[in-house]
Structure 1
Amino acid sequence: MTQIRNAQVADADVLVELLAQLDYSAAGFIKEKIRALLGHPDAVLLVAEQEGAVRGFISLHFIPQIALAGDFCRVSYFCVDSRQTSQGIGKQLLEHAEKLAKERSCDRMELHCHSRRLRSHQFYERQDYEDSPKYFMKKLG
Protein backbone atom coordinates (compact mmCIF):
# COMPACT_ATOMS: atom_id res chain seq x y z
CA MET A 1 0.00 0.00 0.00
CA THR A 2 1.26 3.45 -0.89
CA GLN A 3 1.17 6.19 1.72
CA ILE A 4 1.47 9.80 0.60
CA ARG A 5 2.83 12.22 3.16
CA ASN A 6 4.59 15.55 3.45
CA ALA A 7 8.31 15.28 2.86
CA GLN A 8 10.75 15.78 5.70
CA VAL A 9 14.38 16.88 5.79
CA ALA A 10 15.17 13.26 6.70
CA ASP A 11 14.07 12.31 3.16
CA ALA A 12 16.93 14.31 1.65
CA ASP A 13 19.17 11.41 0.65
CA VAL A 14 16.47 9.53 -1.23
CA LEU A 15 15.28 12.73 -2.92
CA VAL A 16 18.85 13.30 -4.13
CA GLU A 17 18.82 9.77 -5.59
CA LEU A 18 15.47 10.36 -7.30
CA LEU A 19 16.57 13.73 -8.67
CA ALA A 20 19.69 12.02 -10.07
CA GLN A 21 17.35 9.78 -12.08
CA LEU A 22 16.08 13.01 -13.68
CA ASP A 23 19.69 14.15 -14.33
CA TYR A 24 19.79 16.71 -11.50
CA SER A 25 22.54 16.92 -8.91
CA ALA A 26 21.10 18.42 -5.72
CA ALA A 27 23.29 16.83 -3.06
CA GLY A 28 24.96 20.04 -1.89
CA PHE A 29 21.79 21.99 -1.14
CA ILE A 30 18.85 19.58 -0.92
CA LYS A 31 18.25 19.97 2.82
CA GLU A 32 18.11 23.75 2.49
CA LYS A 33 15.64 23.46 -0.40
CA ILE A 34 13.43 21.00 1.50
CA ARG A 35 13.33 23.35 4.50
CA ALA A 36 12.42 26.28 2.23
CA LEU A 37 9.61 24.34 0.57
CA LEU A 38 8.26 23.09 3.89
CA GLY A 39 8.15 26.64 5.20
CA HIS A 40 6.60 28.20 2.10
CA PRO A 41 2.83 28.83 2.32
CA ASP A 42 2.30 28.24 -1.40
CA ALA A 43 4.42 25.12 -1.81
CA VAL A 44 3.94 21.46 -0.96
CA LEU A 45 6.50 18.67 -1.18
CA LEU A 46 5.02 15.18 -0.98
CA VAL A 47 6.56 11.72 -0.98
CA ALA A 48 5.06 8.34 -1.76
CA GLU A 49 6.15 5.65 0.64
CA GLN A 50 5.81 1.87 0.42
CA GLU A 51 6.99 -0.52 3.12
CA GLY A 52 8.82 2.33 4.85
CA ALA A 53 10.78 3.40 1.75
CA VAL A 54 10.24 6.53 -0.32
CA ARG A 55 9.40 5.50 -3.90
CA GLY A 56 8.65 8.90 -5.42
CA PHE A 57 7.94 12.56 -4.80
CA ILE A 58 6.13 15.56 -6.23
CA SER A 59 6.79 19.24 -5.62
CA LEU A 60 3.88 21.68 -6.05
CA HIS A 61 3.49 25.44 -6.17
CA PHE A 62 0.12 27.18 -5.93
CA ILE A 63 0.02 30.38 -7.97
CA PRO A 64 -2.71 33.04 -7.87
CA GLN A 65 -3.86 34.40 -11.22
CA ILE A 66 -4.73 38.03 -11.71
CA ALA A 67 -6.66 37.66 -14.99
CA LEU A 68 -8.53 34.42 -14.28
CA ALA A 69 -10.99 33.43 -11.59
CA GLY A 70 -9.17 30.24 -10.61
CA ASP A 71 -5.56 29.82 -9.57
CA PHE A 72 -3.22 27.15 -10.87
CA CYS A 73 -0.96 24.52 -9.43
CA ARG A 74 2.44 24.00 -10.99
CA VAL A 75 4.18 20.68 -10.66
CA SER A 76 7.81 21.71 -10.45
CA TYR A 77 9.41 18.27 -9.92
CA PHE A 78 7.91 14.82 -10.05
CA CYS A 79 9.71 11.51 -9.97
CA VAL A 80 8.97 7.88 -9.25
CA ASP A 81 11.92 5.58 -8.69
CA SER A 82 12.74 4.04 -12.07
CA ARG A 83 12.70 0.59 -10.41
CA GLN A 84 9.13 1.19 -9.22
CA THR A 85 7.38 2.57 -12.31
CA SER A 86 4.10 1.16 -13.67
CA GLN A 87 2.85 0.29 -10.19
CA GLY A 88 0.43 3.21 -9.82
CA ILE A 89 2.68 5.29 -7.55
CA GLY A 90 2.89 8.22 -9.96
CA LYS A 91 -0.84 8.18 -10.57
CA GLN A 92 -1.52 8.24 -6.82
CA LEU A 93 0.89 11.13 -6.28
CA LEU A 94 -0.62 13.13 -9.14
CA GLU A 95 -4.20 12.45 -8.01
CA HIS A 96 -3.30 13.57 -4.49
CA ALA A 97 -1.72 16.72 -5.92
CA GLU A 98 -4.84 17.44 -7.97
CA LYS A 99 -7.01 17.04 -4.88
CA LEU A 100 -4.85 19.54 -2.98
CA ALA A 101 -5.01 21.94 -5.93
CA LYS A 102 -8.81 21.80 -6.01
CA GLU A 103 -8.91 22.44 -2.26
CA ARG A 104 -6.82 25.59 -2.89
CA SER A 105 -9.21 26.88 -5.59
CA CYS A 106 -6.99 25.94 -8.50
CA ASP A 107 -8.80 25.31 -11.76
CA ARG A 108 -5.86 23.73 -13.56
CA MET A 109 -2.54 21.97 -13.20
CA GLU A 110 0.55 22.86 -15.19
CA LEU A 111 3.92 21.20 -15.57
CA HIS A 112 6.97 21.28 -17.79
CA CYS A 113 8.34 18.00 -19.05
CA HIS A 114 11.44 17.97 -21.21
CA SER A 115 10.95 16.76 -24.77
CA ARG A 116 13.36 13.84 -24.21
CA ARG A 117 11.11 12.29 -21.53
CA LEU A 118 8.80 10.42 -23.90
CA ARG A 119 7.58 7.85 -21.35
CA SER A 120 6.63 10.70 -19.01
CA HIS A 121 4.66 12.35 -21.83
CA GLN A 122 2.71 9.13 -22.31
CA PHE A 123 1.99 8.97 -18.58
CA TYR A 124 0.67 12.55 -18.51
CA GLU A 125 -1.51 11.95 -21.56
CA ARG A 126 -3.05 8.90 -19.83
CA GLN A 127 -3.85 11.22 -16.91
CA ASP A 128 -5.70 13.60 -19.31
CA TYR A 129 -3.00 16.26 -19.49
CA GLU A 130 -2.76 18.11 -22.79
CA ASP A 131 0.38 19.25 -24.56
CA SER A 132 0.95 22.99 -24.38
CA PRO A 133 3.95 23.42 -26.66
CA LYS A 134 5.33 26.86 -25.82
CA TYR A 135 7.68 27.18 -22.88
CA PHE A 136 10.23 29.94 -22.62
CA MET A 137 13.12 30.13 -20.19
CA LYS A 138 15.92 32.55 -19.46
CA LYS A 139 18.75 31.68 -17.10
CA LEU A 140 19.62 34.46 -14.72
CA GLY A 141 23.16 34.98 -13.45
Structure 2
Amino acid sequence: MIREADRSDRDQLSELYRMLVPNSKKMNVLEEQIETIRKDPNNFLLVYEENGELLGSATLNICLQAMHGMRPYGVVENVIVHENHRNRLIGQKLLHYVEEYCKSIHAHKIMLLSNARRERAHQFFEREGYSGSVSKGFKKYL
Protein backbone atom coordinates (compact mmCIF):
# COMPACT_ATOMS: atom_id res chain seq x y z
CA MET A 1 0.00 0.00 0.00
CA ILE A 2 1.19 3.52 -0.79
CA ARG A 3 0.44 6.22 1.74
CA GLU A 4 1.85 9.42 3.14
CA ALA A 5 4.47 8.95 5.83
CA ASP A 6 3.73 9.86 9.41
CA ARG A 7 5.85 10.50 12.49
CA SER A 8 5.97 6.82 13.43
CA ASP A 9 7.81 6.03 10.17
CA ARG A 10 10.96 7.94 11.16
CA ASP A 11 13.16 4.94 12.01
CA GLN A 12 12.23 2.93 8.94
CA LEU A 13 12.66 5.98 6.71
CA SER A 14 16.12 6.51 8.20
CA GLU A 15 16.98 2.92 7.33
CA LEU A 16 15.78 3.36 3.73
CA TYR A 17 17.65 6.66 3.32
CA ARG A 18 20.81 5.03 4.66
CA MET A 19 20.56 2.60 1.72
CA LEU A 20 20.27 5.57 -0.63
CA VAL A 21 23.18 7.56 0.82
CA PRO A 22 25.16 5.17 3.04
CA ASN A 23 27.96 7.60 3.86
CA SER A 24 25.90 10.70 4.57
CA LYS A 25 26.98 12.51 7.70
CA LYS A 26 24.23 15.14 7.32
CA MET A 27 21.20 12.82 7.35
CA ASN A 28 18.80 13.67 10.14
CA VAL A 29 15.25 12.37 9.72
CA LEU A 30 13.01 14.27 12.16
CA GLU A 31 9.49 13.36 13.19
CA GLU A 32 8.60 17.06 13.18
CA GLN A 33 9.68 17.44 9.55
CA ILE A 34 7.72 14.37 8.49
CA GLU A 35 4.66 15.95 10.10
CA THR A 36 5.34 19.33 8.44
CA ILE A 37 5.51 17.64 5.03
CA ARG A 38 2.33 15.69 5.79
CA LYS A 39 0.43 18.90 6.53
CA ASP A 40 1.69 20.75 3.43
CA PRO A 41 -0.72 20.41 0.48
CA ASN A 42 2.12 20.66 -2.07
CA ASN A 43 4.60 18.23 -0.56
CA PHE A 44 4.33 14.49 -0.14
CA LEU A 45 6.58 11.98 1.56
CA LEU A 46 5.24 8.74 0.15
CA VAL A 47 5.96 5.29 1.51
CA TYR A 48 5.25 1.81 0.20
CA GLU A 49 4.26 -0.42 3.10
CA GLU A 50 3.66 -4.16 3.39
CA ASN A 51 2.74 -5.81 6.69
CA GLY A 52 3.91 -2.80 8.69
CA GLU A 53 7.31 -2.65 6.97
CA LEU A 54 8.37 0.26 4.77
CA LEU A 55 9.84 -1.17 1.59
CA GLY A 56 10.11 2.02 -0.46
CA SER A 57 9.74 5.76 -0.44
CA ALA A 58 9.67 8.79 -2.72
CA THR A 59 9.29 12.51 -2.16
CA LEU A 60 7.01 14.55 -4.43
CA ASN A 61 7.02 18.34 -4.38
CA ILE A 62 4.42 20.25 -6.36
CA CYS A 63 5.80 23.53 -7.68
CA LEU A 64 3.76 26.46 -8.92
CA GLN A 65 4.83 28.33 -12.03
CA ALA A 66 3.63 31.14 -14.30
CA MET A 67 4.79 29.77 -17.65
CA HIS A 68 1.97 27.27 -18.23
CA GLY A 69 -1.08 29.02 -16.87
CA MET A 70 -2.31 27.34 -13.72
CA ARG A 71 -0.45 24.08 -14.39
CA PRO A 72 2.14 23.19 -11.74
CA TYR A 73 4.94 20.68 -12.12
CA GLY A 74 6.18 17.90 -9.88
CA VAL A 75 9.69 17.25 -8.63
CA VAL A 76 10.52 13.75 -7.44
CA GLU A 77 13.45 13.10 -5.12
CA ASN A 78 14.79 10.40 -2.84
CA VAL A 79 13.29 7.41 -4.63
CA ILE A 80 14.43 4.34 -2.74
CA VAL A 81 13.39 0.70 -2.53
CA HIS A 82 14.71 -1.47 0.29
CA GLU A 83 17.71 -3.39 -1.01
CA ASN A 84 16.16 -6.74 -0.01
CA HIS A 85 12.97 -6.04 -1.95
CA ARG A 86 14.14 -4.69 -5.29
CA ASN A 87 12.78 -6.04 -8.59
CA ARG A 88 9.30 -6.41 -7.08
CA LEU A 89 7.75 -3.42 -8.90
CA ILE A 90 7.74 -1.29 -5.73
CA GLY A 91 9.60 1.59 -7.39
CA GLN A 92 7.31 1.34 -10.39
CA LYS A 93 4.23 1.50 -8.17
CA LEU A 94 5.58 4.58 -6.39
CA LEU A 95 6.30 6.36 -9.67
CA HIS A 96 2.89 5.43 -11.10
CA TYR A 97 1.25 6.82 -7.97
CA VAL A 98 3.19 10.08 -8.43
CA GLU A 99 2.24 10.24 -12.10
CA GLU A 100 -1.45 9.63 -11.45
CA TYR A 101 -1.49 12.32 -8.77
CA CYS A 102 0.29 14.79 -11.07
CA LYS A 103 -2.20 14.04 -13.85
CA SER A 104 -5.09 14.59 -11.43
CA ILE A 105 -3.91 18.14 -10.70
CA HIS A 106 -3.12 18.80 -14.39
CA ALA A 107 0.61 19.13 -13.81
CA HIS A 108 2.66 20.17 -16.81
CA LYS A 109 5.53 17.73 -16.18
CA ILE A 110 7.39 15.67 -13.61
CA MET A 111 11.09 16.19 -13.05
CA LEU A 112 13.32 13.68 -11.33
CA LEU A 113 16.92 13.93 -10.21
CA SER A 114 19.19 10.97 -9.61
CA ASN A 115 22.80 10.70 -8.55
CA ALA A 116 24.99 10.58 -11.67
CA ARG A 117 26.61 7.31 -10.52
CA ARG A 118 23.37 5.36 -10.01
CA GLU A 119 23.29 3.82 -13.48
CA ARG A 120 20.90 0.98 -12.60
CA ALA A 121 18.47 3.54 -11.20
CA HIS A 122 18.79 5.55 -14.43
CA GLN A 123 17.87 2.49 -16.47
CA PHE A 124 14.83 1.99 -14.25
CA PHE A 125 13.73 5.63 -14.59
CA GLU A 126 14.12 5.46 -18.37
CA ARG A 127 11.99 2.29 -18.49
CA GLU A 128 9.35 4.27 -16.60
CA GLY A 129 9.33 6.98 -19.27
CA TYR A 130 11.74 9.54 -17.82
CA SER A 131 14.33 10.85 -20.25
CA GLY A 132 17.84 11.53 -19.03
CA SER A 133 18.77 13.37 -22.22
CA VAL A 134 16.16 16.16 -22.20
CA SER A 135 17.75 18.33 -19.51
CA LYS A 136 20.88 18.46 -17.46
CA GLY A 137 20.45 18.69 -13.72
CA PHE A 138 22.54 20.91 -11.50
CA LYS A 139 22.84 20.97 -7.72
CA LYS A 140 24.59 23.24 -5.30
CA TYR A 141 24.77 21.89 -1.77
CA LEU A 142 24.67 24.43 1.02
TM-score calculated relative to the size of structure 2: 0.89
2:9 match: 11
The gaps in structure 2 that reach 5 residues or longer are none
Q: Which runs of 4+ in 1 moved over 3 A?
A: 24-29
Q: Sequence identity, in percent?
A: 30
The gaps in structure 1 that reach 5 residues or longer are none
The 2-side partners of 1:29 and 1:54 are apart by: 15
> Aligned pairs, how many?
138
**CA 1:105/1:118 → structure 2, altered by over 3 Å: closer, same or farther?**
same
Provide the secondary structure at the position in 2 that maps to 1:18. Answer: helix
**Retained in 2: the 8 A contact 1:16–1:26?**
no
The 1-side partners of 2:3 and 2:28 are apart by: 24
The 2-side partners of 1:102 and 1:48 are apart by: 20
Comparing both structures, which one devotes a greater share of its residues to strand?
1
The 2-side partners of 1:73 and 1:112 are apart by: 11
User: Does 1:52 pair with 2:52?
Assistant: yes
**Retained in 1: the 8 A contact 2:2–2:49?**
yes
1:22 match: 20
What RMSD over aligned residues (CA atoms) do the two structures have, in Å? Answer: 1.6
Task: Tell me how far 1:71 sits from its aligned partner.
Answer: 1.6
1:117 match: 118
After TM superposition, list the pairs within 5 Å mapping 1:1-141 onto structure 2.
3-23=1-21, 24=24, 28-69=28-69, 70-131=71-132, 132-140=134-142
**CA 1:25/1:82 → structure 2, altered by over 3 Å: closer, same or farther?**
farther
TM-score calculated relative to the size of structure 1: 0.89
